[in-house]
Amino acid sequence: MKKYVVFVFSLMLLSVSAQEQISKAEKKKLKQEKAELEYQKTKDIVESDAYTFVALQAAPLGGGQFFVNTIRNYINVNEGEADLYLPYFGVVRAPNGYSPEAGIKFKGELENYTISFDDEKQEIVVSFEIQRGHERHEFNFNMYKAGAASLVVASSRRNSIAYNGLITELEPPLTN
Mean pLDDT on 120-138 = 93
pLDDT of amino acid 25: 80
Question: How does residue 93 score in pLDDT terms, banded at 50, 70 and 90?
Answer: confident
Predicted pLDDT of residue 8: 60
Distance of alpha carbon 66 from alpha carbon 163, whole angstroms: 9
All structural domains of the chain with their residue ranges: 42-169
- Calpha distance 54→126 (Å, rounded): 15
Q: What's the whole-model pTM score?
A: 0.80
Task: Give bridge partners of residue 75 from the DSSP assignment.
Answer: 53, 84
Instruction: Please determine, for residue 116, whether its predicted confidence score (pLDDT) is greater than 80.
Output: yes
The pLDDT mean for the chain works out to 86
Higher model confidence: residue 55 or residue 26?
55
Q: Which fold is adopted by the domain 42-169?
A: Lipocalin (2.40.128)
Q: Is the pLDDT of residue 13 over 60?
A: no
Percent over 70 (pLDDT), the chain: 81
At residue 91, the pLDDT reads 82
CA distance to 29, 60, 83, 101, 133, per residue, from 106 (Å): 44, 19, 6, 11, 10
Q: What percent of the chain has pLDDT over 90?
A: 58
Task: Report the pLDDT value the prediction gives residue 81, as an integer from 0 to 100.
Answer: 95
pLDDT, average across residues 13-25: 64
Hey, what's the torsion of the CAs at 165, 167, 127, 71, to 10 degrees? -40
The pLDDT value given to residue 130: 96
